[in-house]
């Protein structure tokens, strides 16, 4: 694949990774707090959460998820009690004072509050302070105690196993938003996932499809030690809770920005509406915009011996595939069929029109960009096997061995099996996102003097023997550090030295 001329905007720091490094002083403080303050705080937080449960349970009895509920005096009383109890719970957790800037617009004026950045389960604080509705997974309703509290605020539930869930969710948001304040405001975390607050990733369009005014809300955690962030790669949920409760104080700021009323063009184009609101929120936060989205998270946090080294080109491909609708349409069955057809071509190179026919798609600007990614020689033709390997990588980045199997099926000869050294280099270049790859270390690890062909089983053996396979067996430009031939171990456990 062609190397990207420039790094994608905002990927200098991966927003889906949080590295928490503690100094010796901080470790000592946490150790002392763990045996003194932490148990007391945990007990009090648990007490107040349990205290809130009967109030939420009582108010939820006989309630319909689709009918507007009249605010009787006793429901208003329960609502007030829950706000007080939940604020006491957060206070016991170290959130002693929460700074609120700006003013929240009434539901009759603004039905939707779009909140960012979303970085932790502590982002529930503004929800409990306002008792706004949220968009939540249906599974969260079954969580003991907390599920009842979530149900009380009448969220828009998302049933992810339902193929039509996204459409139904958008329709429900739109229905509630058009009732002119009869439903509670909906607080939507438009990023759709947790990040480390280093930048704002692309917003999902759900909050912007109704085309109604929205009020942006930005969250800040100005603590020196970031124990708050809970994202895809980093400290787990309990560790975050433990470290946060061990902090003397956890400051938080909630800022309500001016209401944003969409133009006619933005009403017709929710993506434009979302991006314009995102830009305003990023400016208020003083952070950059990124071109990453919820769908990119697995690519940027791939793990294992074949983890992606440079994900820029693969991210660009993934975004183009999403625009073409190919990302959601990809499945194991589709990959197998594409690999079978690519193998039949036996490395024949296809121009743009033939490539479009190969995918059963019309020629468009987006498809042209996909084709150009694999046009390494600049002659307007590509090897479809390269495309299939890349598609498999972005579809299942954490299952690199499955992509390898698929690639070997396309490349290996029917006579004696195996793939050539240069073919292996091409496969791994695509999967790792690197260029100028030298795979001689793989053959050295096998203890073979010849470097002609290699089978999948042989390669798999080397990978199993070397958990740091990329570091120890491969060499490429900007390699983290060069392989050490004398440390390479063959599949029979013997070490080998490179011939002089």
The 8-class DSSP code of residue 111 comes to: -
Query: What percent of the chain clears pLDDT 70, i.e. is strictly above it?
Result: 90
pLDDT over 80 at 267, yes or no = yes
Q: pLDDT band at 10, cuts 50/70/90?
A: very low
Residues contacting 329, CB < 8 A, separation 6+: none
> Which of 62-71, 83-92, 362-371, 464-473 has the lowest average pLDDT?
62-71
Q: Which helix (H) or strand (E) holds 371?
A: helix 365-373
Is residue 342 a contact partner of residue 411, using CB atoms and an 8 Å limit? Answer: no
pLDDT at 416: 66
Q: Does residue 378 have a cis peptide bond before it, meaning omega lies within 30 degrees of 0?
A: no
- Band (pLDDT 50/70/90 cuts) for residue 376 is confident
Confidence grade of residue 480 (pLDDT, cut at 50, 70, 90): low
pLDDT band, residue 29 (cuts 50/70/90): very high
Angle at 304 between CA 303 and CA 310, to 5 degrees: 55
The Cα angle at residue 181 between residues 177 and 182, in degrees rounded to 5: 100
pLDDT classification of 11: cutoffs 50, 70, 90: very low
Q: What is the pLDDT of residue 4?
A: 53
Instruction: Return the minimum-mean-pLDDT range out of 90-104, 363-377, 480-494.
Output: 480-494
Q: What is the pLDDT of residue 466?
A: 82
More confident residue, 265 or 444: 265
**What is the per-residue pLDDT across 291-326, written as a single tens digit (0 to 9) for each?**
888 888 888 888 888 888 888 899 999 989 988 888
Q: How far apart are CA 89 and CA 96, in angstroms?
A: 10
> What is the pLDDT, as a whole number, of residue 177?
86
Domain definitions of the chain by residue range: 24-291, 298-487
Higher-confidence residue: 157 or 203? Answer: 203
Q: Is 412 helix (H, G, I), strand (E, B) or coil?
A: coil
Q: pLDDT per residue over 132-176, tens digit each?
A: 999 888 888 888 888 888 888 888 888 766 667 778 888 888 888
Among 127, 307, 120, smallest CA distance to 195 is for 120
**What residue spans of 179-324 are helical by DSSP H?**
237-245, 264-268, 270-285, 297-300, 312-324
- Mean pLDDT for 53-79 is 81
Residue located via tokens 């020689």: 377
Q: Output the average pLDDT for the chain.
A: 87
Pairing of strands 453-454, 419-420: antiparallel
* Beta-ladder partners of 17: 233
The CA distance from 314 to 389, in Å, is 11
What is the reported pLDDT for 413?
Answer: 74
Neighbouring C-alpha atoms within 13 Å toward the C-beta of 184: 22
Q: How far apart are alpha carbons 224 and 219 in whole angstroms?
A: 16
For residues 248 and 144, the answer to whether their CB atoms sit within 8 Å is no
Torsion from C-alpha of 126, 128, 129, 135, nearest 10 degrees = 50
């Amino acid at each position: 694949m062609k190397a990207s001329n420039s790094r994608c905007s905002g990927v200098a720091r991966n927003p889906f990774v949080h590295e928490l490094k503690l100094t010796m002083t901080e470790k000592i403080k946490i150790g002392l707090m763990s045996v003194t303050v932490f148990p007391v705080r945990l007990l009090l937080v648990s007490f107040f959460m349990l205290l809130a449960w009967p109030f939420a349970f009582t108010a939820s009895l006989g309630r319909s998820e689709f009918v507007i509920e009249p605010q009787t005096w006793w429901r208003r009383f329960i609502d007030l009690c829950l706000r007080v109890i939940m604020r006491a719970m957060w206070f016991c957790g170290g959130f002693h004072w929460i700074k609120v800037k700006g003013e929240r617009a009434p539901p009759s004026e603004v039905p939707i509050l779009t909140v960012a950045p979303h970085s932790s389960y502590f982002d529930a604080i503004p929800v409990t302070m306002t008792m706004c509705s949220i968009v939540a997974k249906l599974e969260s309703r079954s969580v003991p105690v907390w599920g009842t509290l979530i149900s009380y605020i009448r969220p828009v539930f998302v049933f992810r196993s339902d193929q039509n869930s996204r459409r139904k969710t958008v329709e429900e948001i739109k229905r509630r938003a058009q009732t002119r304040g009869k439903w509670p405001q909906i607080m939507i975390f438009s990023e759709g996932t947790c990040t480390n607050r280093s930048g704002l990733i692309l917003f999902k369009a759900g909050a912007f499809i109704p085309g109604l005014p929205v009020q942006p809300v930005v969250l800040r955690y100005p603590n020196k030690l970031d124990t708050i962030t809970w994202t895809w790669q980093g400290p787990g949920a309990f560790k975050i809770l433990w470290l946060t409760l061990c902090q003397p104080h956890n400051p938080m700021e909630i800022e309500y920005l001016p209401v944003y009323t969409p133009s006619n063009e933005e009403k017709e184009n929710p993506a434009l509406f979302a991006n314009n609101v995102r830009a305003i929120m990023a400016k208020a936060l003083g952070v950059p915009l990124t071109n990453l989205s919820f769908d990119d998270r697995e690519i940027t946090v791939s793990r294992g011996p074949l983890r992606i080294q440079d994900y820029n080109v693969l991210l660009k491909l993934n975004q183009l595939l999403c625009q073409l609708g190919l990302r959601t349409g990809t499945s194991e069955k589709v990959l197998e069929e594409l690999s079978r057809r690519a193998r039949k071509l036996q490395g024949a190179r296809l121009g743009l029109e033939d490539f479009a026919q190969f995918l059963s798609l019309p020629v468009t600007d987006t498809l042209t960009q996909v084709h150009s990614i694999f046009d390494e020689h600049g002659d307007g033709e590509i090897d479809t096997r390269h495309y299939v390997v890349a598609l498999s990588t972005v579809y299942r980045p954490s299952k690199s061995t499955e992509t390898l199997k698929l690639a070997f099926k396309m490349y290996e000869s029917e006579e004696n099996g195996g793939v050539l050294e240069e073919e292996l280099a091409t496969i791994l270049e695509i999967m790792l996102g690197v260029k100028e790859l030298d795979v001689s270390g793989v053959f050295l690890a096998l203890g073979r003097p010849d470097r002609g062909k290699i089978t999948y089983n042989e390669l798999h053996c080397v990978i199993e023997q070397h958990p740091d396979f990329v570091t120890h067996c491969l060499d490429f430009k900007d390699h983290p550090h060069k392989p050490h031939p004398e440390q390479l171990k063959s599949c029979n456990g013997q070490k080998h030295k490179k011939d002089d």
